[in-house]
Chains A and B, each alone.
Chain A
Amino acid sequence: MIMFMVVYLLLFAVFVFLLNDKIRHGPDDGDLQPAGKWALGFRANGGAK
């Protein structure tokens, strides 16, 4: 029973750590401009409106 609780606590800690890390890191600025063939379509459409 103790091991069961420990495993769940560890799993929850991993979730909180990864979510916190992702939120603190924030969105990548590089994601503002699509790359690869998406960029071709993006430019063809005239970029951001």
Chain B
Amino acid sequence: MTHADGMDVLMLSRLQFAFTIAFHYIYPPLSIGLGLLLVVVEGWWLQTRNPLYHQMARFWTKVFALTFAIGVATGIVMEFEFGTNWATYSRYVGDVFGSALAAEGIFAFFLESGFLAVVLFGWEKVGPRLHFFATCMVALGAHFSAIWIVVANSWMQTPAGFHIVGEGLAARAEITDFWAMVFNPSSMDRLAHTLVGAWQAGAWLMVSVGAWYLLHRRHREFALASVKIGLGVAAVAALLSLVTGDASARGVARNQPAKLAAFEGLWQTAPQAPLHLFGWVDETHGCTHGPEVTGLLSWLAYGDSGRPVTGLEAIPPTDRPPVNATFQLFHLMVAVGCALIGLAGWAGIALVAGTAGAIAPAPVAADLRGTRSADCQPGRLVGGGGGRQPWIVYGLLRTSNALSPWSRPTRWRPR
């Protein structure tokens, strides 16, 4: 991939897209999570008429608007990159993604951005119930947006409901069954895992800001309410992440054995497949160093510790993903997810204990670790995308063949 005289256009294009999408993907999960929390807070205000919740709704609406605006701005760049860097890929998947992305634009983005104007500028101009309806539509739009994008991305992992038309560079996929495309083998598992991750990101942001106010002894009532509501949503979502993550990993075992083998640094296909808690993959010698639990991977993947799991040695080297990078990012994602479950439990106990002294350590930790939930999202994204390599559409189109035709022979030299 790299050369002594510099990086080729493929690597540069991949680096640029990885950077662009990782940066973009900080914001949509925050919007989705905060959208849900806005519904909770404003609904709670309508129910109780406690002015504290009105104040919270207005404050968090402004933060939501900021994440939404940056999310839109950073998302537009990727649309251009599809054309400039990945024209062959765009042509190949265009007839499949066209309907999903059009649905995203019409049913999700228009819904979200249209009602956002009412949410932002409609305070005291429309009735409280209409305003709450607009808030619900914004949250729904954010969730719909995730649905269609995850469906499109999942189709790249587990293509279904299509046939191939043409050959060579002119080959492209066409939909033969729209619903088979939507409900492709990995879409629902990945959607569930993505949404609960997004809820965590928004909830931990709310907890973090509340924690910061508590530490600085400001806006105590507001801060406590933010920590309590955020923590409630974060705790539920953190536990759901375990369930949805497990379902998603079982799907990877069924549909993408090379990716699962890279996730776990598994080389030999054998019964009692071990699961590495952490470690380092030596790709040159084909082994993984680190503490392992024998049979745990077989049990997690198939519910049977004696069942063999496909190792990397059974997969041709040209079809293997970059193993160590995928292994490290996957384990980082799992570690952050487990840490957030522990943090939610610790902070919950501290809150139930009720004294300011008991609460203090939790906000400190939340302040330090809370927004890491959003950082976990790009890790999840890059780990998932990295494990799909060397395919851009799994089993159908290699990433190296997806570049724009003009850029293939070009070599970039660093100055």
Contacts and interface: CB of A to CB of B under 8 A. Distances in A.
Contacts of B16: 1, 4
Contacts of B12: 1
Which of A23, A34, A46 has the largest count of B CB atoms less than 10 A from its CB? A34
Interface in A1-19: 1, 4, 8, 11-12, 14-15, 18-19
Interface string A12-46: 10110011001100111101111111110110011
Interface string B107-134: 0000000000000000111011000000
Contact of B56 (A18, A27, A49): A27
A15 B221 CA distance: 27
A43 B146 CA distance: 40
Contact of B52 (A12, A32, A38): A32
Interface in B201-218: 209, 212-213, 218
Chain B residues touching A, range: 20 to 34
Contacts, number: 75
Interface centre among A4, A11, A23, A31 (most CB of B within 10 A): A31
B55 to A, nearest CB: 4
A2 B220 CA distance: 44
B219 A38 contact: no
A20 B42 CA distance: 23
B66 A19 contact: yes
Contact of B51 (A12, A14, A33): A33
A49 B48 contact: yes
A31 B52 CA distance: 8
State the 3 A-B residue pairs at the shortest beta-carbon distance, nearest first: A36-B124, A27-B59, A31-B55
Given A34-B128, A37-B127, 16 more contacts: A8-B74, A15-B70, A19-B63, A22-B62, A26-B213, A27-B56, A32-B51, A32-B52, A34-B123, A34-B124, A36-B124, A38-B127, A38-B128, A42-B49, A48-B50, A49-B48
Interface of B: 12, 16, 19-20, 23, 48-52, 54-56, 58-59, 62-63, 66, 70, 73-74, 123-125, 127-128, 209, 212-213, 218-219, 222
